[in-house]
Amino acid sequence: MADELGPNGPKGPNSQKLSDGGKRWASWTWEELETLWRHPDMTARELAALLPRHTERAVKNKRQEAGRWRVAGVTPICQRCGQHPVWREAGDGRRWGLCKECTIAERRYRMDHGPRLDRADNALRQARFKRRHSGGASSGHGEAQE
């Protein structure tokens, strides 16, 4: 169950075992999802034959949920180097869309240059604020000045 989606596998009222030993409901593994997404041209019946743990109806439901046609494979490729898959285990790497090597490099860059970039961003933000709020009128509410 380690590679199943979800922390502890199936849950809910339909997860009890059938008399023949099968389950009424089974979590989708990443390999099964890859099979589903890599074959958009196959029918649900053909995919159910390839995926013995899931019924034709389960395949249709999963396609309805995730979409039948996908542009790329399951795991996206790193946006920086374009060579390695995105590092799923790291939250920041997944959020940035970077592989392990590029995520570590980005972390180092942010650690080394973060304070300088924060100061520059703060100066730009303050300049925008001053430009917006400076003007001839002291009240700024359109009242007539005498």
Report pLDDT for 5: 46
> Cα dihedral sign for 132, 134, 139, 144?
negative
Identify the CA nearest to 18 among candidates 53, 48, 44.
53
Overall average pLDDT of the 114-142 stretch: 83
**Phi/psi of residue 93, nearest 5 degrees:** -65, -40
Please state, as a whole number, how many other Cβ atoms lie within 10 Å of the Cβ of residue 68. Answer: 14
Residue 122 Cα to chain centre, angstroms: 29
Lowest mean pLDDT among 2-16, 96-110, 126-140: 2-16
CA 21 – CA 39 distance, rounded (Å): 29
